Amino acid sequence: MKRIVVALMTVVLLCTLVTPAFAADPKNAFENVVMNANEDEFGYIANDSERTRNGTNISYMEAYGCGNGAMGDAVQFKNLDFGENGAKEMTIFFSYGGENTTTVAAKLDSLSAEPFATFAITNTGGWDKTKAKEFTADVSVPGGIHDVFVEFTNEESGSFSYIRFTEADAPIETTTPVAPATADMGVIASIAAIMTSAAGFVALKKR
């Protein structure tokens, strides 16, 4: 009876842990990564200081991409595949109708990481994506699958509806460890849970 219970627990762990780890397929970072409302692909992260835009937190809006962005708000682009070489340029499709300059920063795998790119954007002619323009910055992003966070970094706002990267000509090396993206962490957790269950099964079998 104990063996049956342990076997059932192992199957449950496989279904609940391994499947979510592979739920979101990687997106090609070298094509337009167009935002949508799918939480498996994109996250809309409100700042810790309760700043809002027009009384509303950052969210997906069809006509804008991200809407109501305030300083400290961010969009998480999940599971982007940078291939073997990584990326040498980042492009953002951004619209802004304010008088001052708005700034955003791009970060790799963690919102607390140092920016790998920054953008300073002046008025593009309007707020919705019909007025958006592409802005490009040089970057050095290593290969592999990563999450990219784009954060508003001043009191201005604006909208963006996609980002795109340009592949590097040769593999980019990094001197600092880069944390694996969420899906990779899920795989690690799943394997650890399976090994734990297997160890428990062996222990029961020996009794």
Q: Which domains does the chain have, with CATH numbers?
A: 25-179 (2.60.120.260)
User: Are the C-beta atoms of 3 and 162 separated by less than 8 Å?
Assistant: no
Residue 83 is encoded by which pair of tokens? 């291939």
pLDDT at 54: 84
In angstroms, rounded to a whole number, what is the distance separating the alpha carbons of residues 195 and 190? 9
In angstroms, rounded to a whole number, what is the distance separating the alpha carbons of residues 150 and 178? 17
- Residue 3 — very low, low, confident or very high, per pLDDT cuts 50/70/90? low
pLDDT one-digit tens code per residue, 93-123: 999 999 999 999 999 999 999 999 999 999 9
In angstroms, rounded to a whole number, what is the distance separating the alpha carbons of residues 106 and 73? 12
Calculate mean pLDDT across residues 130-141. 98
pLDDT higher than 60, residue 58:
yes
pLDDT at 15: 44
pTM: 0.75
pLDDT higher than 80, residue 199:
no
Q: CA of 104: how far to CAs of 4, 49, 158, in Å?
A: 54, 17, 9
